[in-house]
Amino acid sequence: MKSLYSVAEIRNIEHNMAESLPAGTLMQRAGEAAASAARAILAGRKVLVLAGPGNNGGDALEVAANLAGADTDLDAEVTVLYLGGPAPSADSARALARARASKAVFVDSLPLGRDWGLIVDGLFGIGLARPIDGDMRALVEAINALGRPVLALDVPSGLDADTGAVIGPDGVAIQATRTITFIGDKPGLHTFEGRDYAGQVQLAPLGIDPGQRPAAGARLNEPALFARHLAPRRHNSHKGSFGDVAVIGGAKGMAGAPLMAARGALFTGAGRVFVAAIEPAGAVDFVQPEIMMRDAQDFDSGDATLVIGPGMGDSVTAMRVLFKALEGKAALVIDADALNLIADSPDLQGRLAQRGATAIVTPHPLEAARLLGVTSAVVQGDRLAAARELASRLNAVVVLKGSGTVIANAGGAVVINPTGNAGLATAGSGDVLAGMCGSLLAQGWQAWEAAIGAVWVHGAAADRLVAQGSGPIGLTAGELPLAARAVLNALAR
Ligand SMILES: NC(=O)C1=CN([C@@H]2O[C@H](COP(=O)(O)OP(=O)(O)OC[C@H]3O[C@@H](n4cnc5c(N)ncnc54)[C@H](O)[C@@H]3O)[C@@H](O)[C@H]2O)[C@@H](O)CC1
Ligand SMILES: [K+]
């Protein structure tokens, strides 16, 4: 299980471990682990180590001592820019003495030149309490402008390890190539701006085995979390074995959105797929004639799983079919315009919350903001908290889309999705995702697993397309269903 620990949880673990280990042990282990990570990505002889005033700086000094120690076999020139205060912690003071005794050269301003084979970022870790400003800000900007490989210790300096936001207002953060994070992995490295600032994330548990760590409040999505639904299909199957999905949406001029959702459902294995259009645009979809076209006004969806909202608009008919869907017992995916209608209606919010946790809602940050009555900046500022709050208010599984999609349920479980890429930032990709959620629900998956499974597969489909050269630039949502089919079948095998 890939646990993600909040700063408070990490502090708690540190506190408990400190009592059973000799002083300085964890910092030494952090320094050793980071030094070997540094060796692995070194792109030249010169190493610049940035060491800040706290224990993150202490880790950096340990790295310098390891890379430039008398007994090292590494032929590197290590320069340390130490920005410590007058009273370092005992651990940091010990690390400082070790680094000063090594071959590392100490400087007090950023040396000229840009030929660093590696820059080690130990300015700030999880103790950063306010935006980086003044000379430190100028230093961070200068480092980022160099464009050299950067190994961040624990967290890229300036990034909030809980939220993935750059600590602001008006803050800056180090742009890392790789982040080696200590004790436990952290949510902020995997969502919002964290993906871009952290680069590749590597965990160094520092000898603390999982049994010594309490359960974390969040985790990274992985197929093991939904694997129990991935059984191979029985030979004696028929289309009724895999459920019906009905996509309700498609106001005037928006006929494509429900079709994208329908294709997402079809290619991930739903038995039969309908589009019930608010404004019927045609009797058949000639690209995908398997999809059955209906008129939402008089459509009887029977037991079908409903995906409601893509391109649905806000007409009286839209409102009426949404009301009916919320009244019904069918499993439900609520997306796009249906979310905006619900945001405007406390009555519909109440009905959704009362129908039991069989609904999946799939807002992007602005839709989530409308539902919560805040701005999208507030949602993005703490995506985990926003998803948790929404799941609890709506009594539903919430899929908060964006870089590092966050999935939360009313019981407080939170998962961050690691698959996917910038190619998904294109019209229609959300419709495909909603259809995929509906498809897995229709095939009997529980709402939670349908949501995390669909999000994982959807992202992996985009990754597959990029690996084949079909993105991220110009990746179209229409390509996702076929790629998702390949990913899902590979998982099922
Ligand atoms: N405590 C432990 O047992 C361990 C801690 N470790 C390291 O220690 C880090 C946490 O250390 P700290 O709690 O000392 O915190 P940090 O080193 O992250 O930073 C705190 C220091 O920065 C100063 N500061 C905060 N915001 C500032 C700002 N905007 N401008 C200028 N100065 C600012 C504080 O006054 C304090 O001196 C972790 O991220 C990790 O790298 C590791 O060595 C593993 C073990
Ligand atoms: K750092």
pTM of the model: 0.96
Confidence category of residue 403, pLDDT binned at 50, 70, 90: very high
Strand order in the sheet with 200-204: 105-107, 77-82, 46-51, 118-122, 150-153, 178-182, 200-204
DSSP 75-131: --EEEEEE---SS--HHHHHHHHHHHTSSPEEESSPPS----SEEEEES--TT--S-
d(CA 73, CA 319): 71
Average pLDDT on 285-313 reads: 96
Confidence category of residue 85, pLDDT binned at 50, 70, 90: confident
d(CA 439, CA 454): 9
The pLDDT value given to residue 231: 81
The pLDDT value given to residue 212: 81
Average pLDDT on 390-408 reads: 98
CA-nearest of 162, 214, 182 to 12 is 214
Q: Which atom from ligand 1 is nearest to the alpha carbon of 31?
A: 43
147-186 pLDDT per residue, tens: 999 999 999 999 999 999 999 999 999 999 999 999 999 9
The pLDDT value given to residue 234: 85
Measured from the CB, is residue 26 less than 6 Å from ligand 1? yes
Distance 46 CA to ligand 2 centre (A): 19
H-assigned helices in 345-403 = 346-354, 365-372, 376-381, 383-394
Flag whether the ipTM exceeds 0.90: yes
Average pLDDT on 83-87 reads: 91
The pLDDT value given to residue 357: 64
Q: Which atom from ligand 1 is nearest to the alpha carbon of 57?
A: 17
Q: Which amino acid is at 493?
A: R
Is 58 annotated in a binding site? The answer is yes
Q: Is the pLDDT of residue 125 over 80?
A: yes
Is 311 annotated in a binding site? The answer is yes
351-397 pLDDT per residue, tens: 999 997 689 999 999 999 999 999 999 999 999 999 999 999 999 99
Is 69 annotated in a binding site? The answer is no
Measured from the CB, is residue 61 less than 6 Å from ligand 1? no
Measured from the CB, is residue 182 less than 6 Å from ligand 1? yes
Domains annotated on the chain, with CATH: 3-217 (3.40.50.10260), 223-231+238-492 (3.40.1190.20)
Distance 427 CA to ligand 1 centre (A): 42
97-115 pLDDT per residue, tens: 999 999 999 999 999 988 9
Distance 281 CA to ligand 1 centre (A): 60
User: Considering the chain, what is the average pLDDT of its residues?
Assistant: 96
Q: Is the pLDDT of residue 489 over 90?
A: yes
Q: Which amino acid is at 279?
A: E
Helix (H, G, I), strand (E, B) or coil at 281: coil
Distance 117 CA to ligand 2 centre (A): 18
Residues 227 and 490: beta-carbon distance below 8 Å: no
Distance 377 CA to ligand 1 centre (A): 27
DSSP 196-242: HHH-EEEEE-TT--GGGSPPPSEEE--GGGTGGG-PPPPSS--GGGG
Q: Which atom from ligand 1 is nearest to the alpha carbon of 14?
A: 3
Ranges 166-170, 213-217, 383-387, 466-470: which has the least confidence: 213-217
Minimal-distance CA residue to ligand 1 atom 9: 56
The pLDDT value given to residue 277: 98
Q: Which atom from ligand 1 is nearest to the alpha carbon of 89?
A: 14
Measured from the CB, is residue 124 less than 6 Å from ligand 1? yes
